[in-house]
Amino acid sequence: MKRTSLALRITVVCLAIAAVAVVVAGLVAARLIRTTGTDVLRQSLSAQADVVASQLDETGIGNRLGVSKVAEVVRGQGIDVVVRRPNGTLDGDGTVAAIAATKAGFTRSGTVLVEGQQYLVEVRTVGARGAAFALVQSTKTGEARGRMLVRNTVLALGAGLAVAAIAGLVLSRMLSRPLRRAASVANGMRSGRRDLRVPVEGPSEVADVAKSVNELADALQYSEARQREFLLSVSHELRTPLTAVTGFAEAIGDGVAEGEDARRAGQTIHREAQRLERLVSDLLELARLGADEFRLDPARLDLAALVDECADVWRLRCARQNVTLLVERPPGEVPVIADPRRLRQVVDGLAENALRVTPAGAPIVFSLVAAEGQARLAVRDGGPGLAPEDYPVAFERGVLNERYRDSRPVGSGIGLALAHGLVTRMGGTLTAGPAPEGGAAFTVAFRLG
C-alpha cells in the first residue's frame, strides 16, 4: 500500500489548521464588520444632525434657502433632509426619505424599514413651535463600506493561509530530511553496507531516531565481526580432527597401517570422531538456546549431592593425569531450583576445561558455598589462568579459543558460551575470575530453594 510522505502530511495539517482558523476568523470578522459599520454610520449621522441643528433655528427652517443649503451639503454624503415646518407640512412629501421620517414620527431617532430597505433616521426639533428636521440615510452605505472591509479582511486572511502553507512546507522538509537520511542509511545497511552513519541533527525525537540507527549499525558491525571470528574458530577446530581422520583412514585404506598401527589408527579416528560429535552437538545446542527452542525441566535439587556425583566421575579422570581433585562443601543439603541434567552438563564442561589446562601435580577444586541466600559452586584450577582483560569476555563465543589456541590446549570455543546461556536460562549467573590456586575460577550461583 502506497503511503503519503511525512512532508505532505505536515503540510496538509498546517493548511487544515490555518483554513479552520481563517474561516472562523472570517465569520467572526464579517459579523463584527457588519455590526460595527451600522453603528459607525448611525453615530456619524447623529453627529451630522447635531451640527445641522446648531446651524438652523425656526427662521432657518422657515427659509427654504437655508434648508436647501443644508440639504446640498449633506446630500453628497448620501443623506436626505426632510423638514417638518411649524404648520405641519413636509418638504419632499412622498419621497422614500419622507416616508422613513414619517414612520419615525419626527419624535425619535432609529432604524425603520421602507420597501424592504433599512434607513437610519435622526430627528431633531428646532424651536418651540413644532418645527423639526430628519436626516435619513440608507444602511446600504454602511453595508458597502462593510463589504469593502470584509473583502480586505478576506485578502489578509488568504495571505495568512498562503504563509501557513509555505511555513508548513518548509517545516515538513526540515523535519523529514533527517528521517529520509535515516531511511537511506537503513536501506544501505539492508544491502550489506556497515560503514554508513546518520548525522545526528534536528529535533530531539528525530535525533534519537538517527542515534538509534547508528547504534544498530554499530551493533550489526560488531555482531557480524564476532560471527566471522567464530566461524573461523569453528573451521579451525573442525579442520584438526578431520585432518587426523582423513590421514589415518587413508593409511588404513592404503594398507600402510597394519596390526598394532591399524588399531592405534582406529582409536585415533574414533577419538577425533567423538570430538567432532561433541563440537557439532555444542553448536546445535547453542543455536537452539539462542532461538529460544531449548527445553528446560527445572526442579528442586540438592546441589551438594550433584557436586558429590561429579566428583566421583572426575576424580578418576584427574588421577589419570596426576591431577588432584579437591571438594569443598558444607555438610547437609544445599537446595536450589534448576534443571539437573543441564546443570550437570555445565559442571562437566567447566571441569573438562579445567582439566585440559591443569598441569600434573596441580589441583582442581569443586567449591560449594551457601551464604546470603545463595548457593555458589566454583570450579577452580591450578593452570595458567587468564589475562585480567580476558575474564570479562570469557563467555563470548570463540574469544578465548582465538587468543590461546597457539599457546595451550583449547576446546571448541563455544563451551563457555553454551554454559553461560544454560545457567542464565535456568535463572542463575556464571562468572569468571582468578583462582587462589593460580588458575581460573568459574562460579555458578543460584538462589537457595
Strand locations in 165-219, DSSP E?
A: none
Question: Are residues 362 and 437 in contact, defined by beta-carbon separation less than 8 angstroms?
Answer: yes
Cell numbers for 336? 536450589
Place of cell 422657515: 62
Residue 65 has what pLDDT?
Answer: 45
Residues 6 or more apart from 190 whose CB is under 8 A from it?
none
CATH number 2.60.40.420 is the correct assignment for the domain at 6-150: no
Read off the pTM.
Answer: 0.47
* Phi, psi dihedrals of residue 362, rounded to the nearest 5°: -95, 160
CATH number 1.10.287.130 is the correct assignment for the domain at 204-290: yes
Residue 140 has what pLDDT?
Answer: 73
Looking at the chain, the domain(s) classified CATH 3.30.565.10 span 299-447
391 DSSP 8-state letter = G
Rg (CA), the chain: 51
**CA 390 vs CA 35, 152, 158, 289, 419: distances in Å:** 86, 79, 71, 24, 17
Q: What is the residue-level pLDDT of the chain in tens, covering all 449 positions?
A: 556 565 666 667 777 777 777 677 666 766 666 666 677 778 887 887 777 777 666 555 555 545 666 666 677 677 888 877 777 777 765 677 777 777 777 666 778 888 778 888 888 877 656 677 888 888 776 555 556 666 766 677 677 777 777 777 777 777 777 777 888 888 888 888 878 888 887 777 778 888 888 888 888 887 777 667 666 556 655 665 677 778 778 877 777 767 777 777 788 787 778 767 767 776 676 666 655 555 778 899 999 999 999 898 888 889 989 999 999 999 999 999 999 888 988 898 899 899 999 999 999 999 999 999 999 999 999 999 999 999 999 988 778 877 888 888 777 667 788 889 889 989 999 999 999 999 999 999 999 97
Q: How many Cβ atoms are within 10 Å of 153's Cβ, its own excluded?
A: 16
Q: Where are the alpha helices (DSSP H) in 191-302?
A: 204-254, 260-290
Nearest to 118 by CA among 93, 95, 94, 143: 143
Looking at the chain, the domain(s) classified CATH 3.30.450.20 span 6-150
Question: Are residues 257 and 269 in contact, defined by beta-carbon separation less than 8 angstroms?
Answer: no
The residues that bridge with 324 in the sheet, in sequence order, are: 363
Question: Are residues 423 and 379 in contact, defined by beta-carbon separation less than 8 angstroms?
Answer: no
Cell numbers for 215? 547504534
pLDDT tens digits along 172-224: 777 777 777 888 888 888 888 878 888 887 777 778 888 888 888 888 887 77
Question: Are residues 217 and 196 in contact, defined by beta-carbon separation less than 8 angstroms?
Answer: yes
Query: From edge to edge, which strands make up the β-sheet containing 324-328?
Result: 324-328, 363-371, 374-381, 440-447, 429-434
Q: In this structure, are strands 440-447 and 374-381 parallel, antiparallel, or unpaired?
A: antiparallel
Question: Are residues 360 and 322 in contact, defined by beta-carbon separation less than 8 angstroms?
Answer: yes
Q: How many Cβ atoms are within 10 Å of 272's Cβ, its own excluded?
A: 19
Q: Where are the alpha helices (DSSP H) in 56-139?
A: 58-62, 64-75, 96-104
**CA 273 vs CA 71, 327, 389: distances in Å:** 127, 32, 34
User: Using CA atoms, how far apart are residues 185 and 208, in angstroms rounded to an integer?
Assistant: 15
* Phi, psi dihedrals of residue 381, rounded to the nearest 5°: -135, 165
Nearest to 44 by CA among 139, 175, 185, 131: 139
User: Using CA atoms, how far apart are residues 328 and 379, in angstroms rounded to an integer?
Assistant: 10
Q: How many Cβ atoms are within 10 Å of 447's Cβ, its own excluded?
A: 12
User: Using CA atoms, how far apart are residues 269 and 277, in angstroms rounded to an integer?
Assistant: 12
Work out whether the CA dihedral 164, 165, 170, 172 comes out positive or negative: positive
Residue 437 has what pLDDT?
Answer: 93
User: Using CA atoms, how far apart are residues 337 and 109, in angstroms rounded to an integer?
Assistant: 101
Q: Following CA atoms 22, 26, 32, 35 in sequence, which dihedral angle do they give, to the nearest 10 degrees?
A: 180
Cell numbers for 172? 515538513
432 DSSP 8-state letter = E
Work out whether the CA dihedral 406, 357, 435, 360 comes out positive or negative: negative
User: Using CA atoms, how far apart are residues 441 and 382, in angstroms rounded to an integer?
Assistant: 9
User: Using CA atoms, how far apart are residues 146 and 106, in angstroms rounded to an integer?
Assistant: 29
299-447: CATH topology? Heat Shock Protein 90 (3.30.565)
